[in-house]
Every structure is written in structure tokens, then in C-alpha cells.
Structure 1
Amino acid sequence: MKKQLIFINLVLLTLFSSCKNKEEIAPVEEVKANTFDVIVDLKIEKDDELILFYKDPSIAYFDAKNTVYNGVKGNAESQIITFSIPEGILPNDIRFDVSSKKEQTPIIINSITLSFEGRIFKIEQKDILKYFTPNEFIKFDETKGEASFIKNGESFDPYFLTKPTIYPEIERVRGVKL
């Protein structure tokens, strides 16, 4: 009887010890913020800082407070840049500033993807002008997806504004039933 009791205690001790060890070595899954993302696949050869401005229904115009900055290292190869809008904000409009450096060489935009909760809308290179309008500081070649920059004295602020054709797509990605 005493041997059985010792055996049972050893078994229980082993079980509890192994359970405790499993908890300690189990990988902890990282919880990521549920953000609305704008993912840009581009080729930019010189270091720069790109900016995404966003508005939601409570914001009347683009301002510096509602921005996501993304410092980019220049690279001869295409790279993916992700702008994550702060959690809890679902934009209804965006503006994409493609350079803040006057000496920037032309960049190639391969695609722009909007993503939220597994819903995505991808704008391919050939369709960029269908959804975005370049301002006066950008000459955009839609066949190559190339944005070259126009210097106008001291002024330099190249960006793309959205066209009305993108608004239903933004709403769909946000999860709004149309």
C-alpha cells in the first residue's frame, strides 16, 4: 500500500511538473493591432520619408495630425512599405505623399493595396490613375508606373489624391455594406 501511494505521488508529481514545463515553453502568440493598412509595392532608389495622410468621417481635411510616416531606405529592388493607420480609425479617404526629398530620382509604383480584417483591394500599376490623381509636382507614366518629380522653385510636395472611384472600394475594405 505504501509503495502504491509513493508510485501515485510520483506519477502526479511528474504530470504536474510536465504540465508546468509545457506552459513555460509554449510560444506566446503575438497579438497584433487590428489596423487598416495601406501597402505600397514600389522601387525607390534613394532614402526618403513617405507619408500617408488619412481622414475619417469626423475629419474635414487632411492635416499633419492624421498621418503615418514611413522612412524608406533606398534600394535598386522593389520593396513593400506598409502604412498602418492607428487602431480604431477607419479612413474614408487617403493622400499618399511619395517623396519629401527634392533630389529623389523617379520611383516606380508597382501596386497599392488596402487591407483590413482580411478584406483587401489591390490596385495594380496599370490602374493607379483610375483611383489616384498626381498633383502638379508629379509626372506619372502609367505604362511604367513611374512617378518623376517636377521642381517648382522652392516648392516641392509630390502626392497622389484619391479619385471618387476608390471610395466604394475603401468602404468595402472597411466592411461597410454598400
Structure 2
Amino acid sequence: MKKQLIFINLVLLTFFISCKNKEEVTPVEEIKANTFDVIVDLKIQKDDELILFYKDPSIAYFDDKNTVYNGVKGSSEIQSLTFSIPEGILPNDIRLDISSKKDQDPIIINAITLSFEGRIFKIEKRDILKYFTPNEFIKFDEATGEVKFIKNGENFDPYFLTKPVIYTEIEKVRGVQL
């Protein structure tokens, strides 16, 4: 019985000493994927969902599979919405659907920024029409950055398509030597 008691005490002593000497483990911060991002600085009054469509050289046209959705809460303050294209995909073209709500108030776009691996290309509101074409559901004022929506019966799909002049800038952000 004495031997069992000594053995149990040794086991408990070893256990307590090993627990006391263990270093505190700090959790490792998850490393975020290095993604191609499109950041839109805007003021939007009502909750909405914006969509970024993207293509790479293997994709011939914009489709629902190659999209990034971003829900936004309405606010009177400027917000930055970041659309992160999935890791490993480097777009060569984008399309920005600016609203999905027919009753949305006018939106102000201050800037659109393309970013990848520390390289950025920022488009200020005064230059948005140089790089993007609004479709028939949008009236854009480049002086103020205001996007007004044009209703056309039941149809409503306001978006900005890129102009060819932006392709060189996308390539630079991607890191392609021209």
C-alpha cells in the first residue's frame, strides 16, 4: 500500500510540475489569402447588395459563377466595400453591379481602387467615366460622383462596364510586365 501511495504521489507531482513548466500557447493568426481586391469608396443611404463580376483569360463572358457579392448597410457616412476575388484568380476584366434595389436613393462613388500584392491603381470619381461605362440604368455625374438610377418599367440592372483603357492598369496591378 505504501508503494502505491508513493507511486501515485510521484505521478501527481510529475503532472503538476509539467503543467507549471508548460509555456503559454498563443494562437497563430490566420494568414489571409493574397487576393486581387476591388475597393469601392461610396456613400449609400439604404441597405443593398453590390456585385462584382470578373473574368480571367479562360472566361469569355461575365456569368454568375464568377462573382463576389457584398452586402452593405445604408449610412450617411462614406464606406469602403472590398470585393476580394478568390485566391489564385487574377482578373483581366470586371463589371460592377452598383445596386439591386429599385428604390435605392442616389449613391456617391468617391473612388474605385484595384489592389494586388501591394500594387494599387486608384480611380477618383472625376476619372470613373474614363475607365468605366455606365449602362442605361445609370446617370453618373463625374464632378460629384453621384449615381442616379433610371427606372425602365420592370427592368432594373444598373452596372458599370470597363473600357479598354483600364486593361493596361489591371495588368500592372496584377504584376504583368508590359
TM-score category by the smaller chain? 0.7 to 0.9
1:43 aligns to what?
A: 43
Q: Distance in 2 between matches of 1:82 and 1:50?
A: 11
Q: Distance in 2 between matches of 1:49 and 1:101?
A: 8
Structure 1 counterpart of 2:157, one-letter code: D
* TM-score, normalised relative to structure 2: 0.87
Map Cα deviations across residues 104-137 of structure 1 (whole Å, 9 max, x no partner): 0000000000011111111111111110000000
Larger Rg: 1 or 2? 2
Consecutive aligned runs of 4 or more in structure 1 exceeding 3 Å deviation: none
Q: Distance in 2 between matches of 1:104 and 1:29?
A: 39
Q: Secondary structure at the match of 2:23?
A: helix
Q: Distance in 2 between matches of 1:144 and 1:21?
A: 57
Q: Distance in 1 between matches of 2:111 and 2:119?
A: 16
1:141 aligns to what?
A: 141
User: Which structure 2 segments of 5+ residues have no match?
Assistant: 1-16
Work out whether 1:107 is the aligned partner of 2:122: no
> Identity over aligned residues, as a percent?
80
Q: What RMSD in Å do the two structures reach over aligned CA positions? A: 1.4
Q: Following superposition of structure 1 onto structure 2, how do residues 161-176 of structure 1 map, counting pairs within 5 Å?
A: 161-176=161-176
Structure 1 residue 48 displacement after superposition: 0.5
Structure 1 residue 29 displacement after superposition: 2.6
User: Which structure 1 segments of 5+ residues have no match?
Assistant: 1-12
Q: Following superposition of structure 1 onto structure 2, how do residues 15-54 of structure 1 map, counting pairs within 5 Å?
A: 17=21, 20-22=22-24, 24-25=25-26, 27-54=27-54
2:8 aligns to what?
A: none
Q: Secondary structure at the match of 1:21?
A: coil
Work out whether 1:123 is the aligned partner of 2:128: no
* TM-score, normalised relative to structure 1: 0.87
Structure 1 residue 28 displacement after superposition: 1.7
